[in-house]
């Protein structure tokens, strides 16, 4: 339905340009004028450009529908296995679709770097799980917080725990600046909060990756020495690779507070309208016990006190 509505909008737009060209042609005589031909060609080119970019002329969220961009980032988005489509962000997406039933929706699987590129281009996509940063606010609108990322850890092969523990106090800055021999990698375009983002800008790792399983396979195969990631992501990926307990999660000096994730849409009038609808749902849903259960899913028991304190404080108060 989303694409039928979009096609109608584009057809109307093309029709207006073509009608204008036809009027000019009638004034000029039986043969189309060069200007008329240019107008027809311009209208066709505009339609092609809009379709290719996934953009419609200004339309409300209800008329245009939403494409949810997803990728494999278990346990937040789960693409395969017995828990498929039951990740934290998956469940939040389903809740939003149910509460916004008047808005047509579909999902599209894409690597995170492509999602960012498409949002920058104004595509009519949204993504559950974006972290708000000043740079991203140039091209995206963000909802109220939907969930928490916590705790951030240095993830190392379990057999290497003592090697890293011997560096105590363990510092990410020290590893990035003084130990380039210890290899790490970062997901392209990812944000881990202002403190960690600043360190990674100043001391960028030479390696990058486009999905989580790829990075954890590299760590398991000793092509990397450590990763900077959240404990529940590391634990889930170890299980996914058939190696539960394969990774040790170590705290480090620069450990940040919980980072809030949000719905992220292109910074367009359509994106603004859709985010407003999402926020109305979140204001009602987030204080409820069933929503809290979604956010806490997959968290280790020892992390729950910090998560709950952040949820009841800054999370619910944040805009």
Examine the fold and report which residue of 231, 250, 269 is the final residue of a domain before the chain moves on. Answer: 250
Shared-domain flag, residues 291 and 236: no
Residue scoring higher pLDDT (284 or 49):
284
Q: Give the whole-angstrom CA distance, residue 31 versus residue 33.
A: 6
Please report which confidence band the pLDDT of residue 63 belongs to, taking 50, 70 and 90 as the band edges. low
CATH code of 312's domain? 3.40.190.10
Shared-domain flag, residues 236 and 157: yes
Shared-domain flag, residues 197 and 145: no
Shared-domain flag, residues 234 and 116: no
CB 32 within 8 A of CB 21: yes
Tally of domains in the chain: 3
Examine the fold and report which residue of 232, 250, 268 is the final residue of a domain before the chain moves on. Answer: 250
Report whether pLDDT(10) > 60: no
- Per-residue model confidence (pLDDT) at position 33: 40
pLDDT digits (tens, 9 = 90+) for 180-220: 999 999 999 999 999 999 999 999 999 999 889 999 999 99
Shared-domain flag, residues 92 and 181: no
Structural domain that includes position 246: 152-250
Residue scoring higher pLDDT (6 or 307):
307
- Per-residue model confidence (pLDDT) at position 60: 56
Examine the fold and report which residue of 225, 250, 275 is the final residue of a domain before the chain moves on. Answer: 250
Shared-domain flag, residues 130 and 164: no
Q: Choose the weakest-confidence range: 51-60, 137-146, 239-248, 258-267.
A: 51-60
Report whether pLDDT(117) > 80: yes
Shared-domain flag, residues 44 and 116: no
Shared-domain flag, residues 118 and 158: no
- Per-residue model confidence (pLDDT) at position 210: 85
Report whether pLDDT(13) > 90: no
Shared-domain flag, residues 69 and 200: no
Report whether pLDDT(107) > 90: yes
Please report which confidence band the pLDDT of residue 36 belongs to, taking 50, 70 and 90 as the band edges. very low
- Per-residue model confidence (pLDDT) at position 59: 52
HSE-up (13 A, CA, CB side) for residue 224: 23
pLDDT digits (tens, 9 = 90+) for 230-289: 999 999 999 999 999 999 999 999 988 899 999 999 999 999 999 999 999 999 999 999
Mean pLDDT of 56-65: 59
- Per-residue model confidence (pLDDT) at position 319: 84
Q: Choose the weakest-confidence range: 62-71, 138-147, 249-258.
A: 62-71
Mean residue pLDDT across the chain: 84
Shared-domain flag, residues 171 and 128: no
Shared-domain flag, residues 171 and 246: yes
Shared-domain flag, residues 158 and 91: no
């Amino acid at each position: 339905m989303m694409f039928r509505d979009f096609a109608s909008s584009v057809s109307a737009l093309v029709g207006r340009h073509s009608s204008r060209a036809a009027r000019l042609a009638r004034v000029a005589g039986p043969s189309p004028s060069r200007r008329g031909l240019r107008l027809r060609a311009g209208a066709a080119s505009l339609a092609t450009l809009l379709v290719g970019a996934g953009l419609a002329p200004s339309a409300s969220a209800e008329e245009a529908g939403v494409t949810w961009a997803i990728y494999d980032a278990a346990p937040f988005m789960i693409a395969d296995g017995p828990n498929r489509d039951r990740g934290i962000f998956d469940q939040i997406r389903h809740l939003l679709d149910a509460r916004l039933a008047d808005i047509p929706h579909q999902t599209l699987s894409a690597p995170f770097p492509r999602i960012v590129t498409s949002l920058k281009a104004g595509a009519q996509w949204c993504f559950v799980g974006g972290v708000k940063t000043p740079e991203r606010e140039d091209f995206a609108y963000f909802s109220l917080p939907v969930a928490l990322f916590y705790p951030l850890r240095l993830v190392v092969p379990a057999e290497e725990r003592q090697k890293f523990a011997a560096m105590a106090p363990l510092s990410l800055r020290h590893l990035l600046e003084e130990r380039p021999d210890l290899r790490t990698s970062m997901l392209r375009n990812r944000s881990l909060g202002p403190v960690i983002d600043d360190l990674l800008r100043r001391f960028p790792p030479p390696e990058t990756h486009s999905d989580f399983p790829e990075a954890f396979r590299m760590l398991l195969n000793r092509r990397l020495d450590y990763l900077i990631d959240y404990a529940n992501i590391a634990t889930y990926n170890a299980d996914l690779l058939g190696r539960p307990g394969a990774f040790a999660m170590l705290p480090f000096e620069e450990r940040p507070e919980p980072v809030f994730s949000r719905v992220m849409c292109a910074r367009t009038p359509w994106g603004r309208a859709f985010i407003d609808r999402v926020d109305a749902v979140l204001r009602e849903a987030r204080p409820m016990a069933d929503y809290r259960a979604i956010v806490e899913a997959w968290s280790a028991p020892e992390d729950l006190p910090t998560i709950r304190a952040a949820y009841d404080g800054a999370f619910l108060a944040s805009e």
